[in-house]
Amino acid sequence: MLEKRTQGTAEEETVSAHYALLLGIKAPWRVQSARLDLLASKVEIAVEWDETAQVCCPECALECPRHDRARRSGRGGTDVMQFQTIIRARVPRSRCAEHGVLTVRAPWAEPALALHLAL
Ligand SMILES: [Zn+2]
């Protein structure tokens, strides 16, 4: 696997994998890092999109060129073990010939829909 970034410790890697599983994050998304803040009872998860992956229009699910990436930060749908889950990601936007520029739906925001689109 090609890695441009410096990898964290083995422990950090395990935590990232754990949250990826918990939030249903899978390719082309990946958990870049997970930062646990015990005092504030929150966990901040940075998710990144595989640059080489094809972008699909969220309306018609057709493959489109990637327009750009929108910076997104939000609360995760799942609070884990009473920890507030904050997910930070740069979500790609598709440029569909019919529907224009739209933000690709994130799997952690709408799991059922993402699953539907993947079929
Ligand atoms: Zn479309």
SS3 112: helix
Q: Name the pLDDT band for 3 (thresholds 50, 70, 90).
A: very low
pTM tops 0.85: no
- Centre of ligand 1 to C-alpha 63, Å, is 8
CA of 45 to the centre of ligand 1 (A): 29
Predicted confidence at residue 15, as pLDDT, reads 81
- Please tell me the distance between residue 55's alpha carbon and the centre of ligand 1 in angstroms: 11
CA distance 47 to 56: 18
Q: Chain-wide mean pLDDT for the chain?
A: 80
**Joined tokens for residue 57:** 């229009």
Q: Look-up: residue for tokens 């997104």? A: 72
- Quickly list DSSP for 69-93: EEEEEEE-S--BTTBEEEEEEEEEE
Distance 59 CA to ligand 1 centre (A): 5
Contact indicator for 89, 107 with CB cutoff of 8 Å: no
Give the pLDDT score at 10. Answer: 80
Q: What is the pLDDT of residues 76-107, one digit of tens each?
A: 655 656 778 888 898 899 999 999 999 988 87
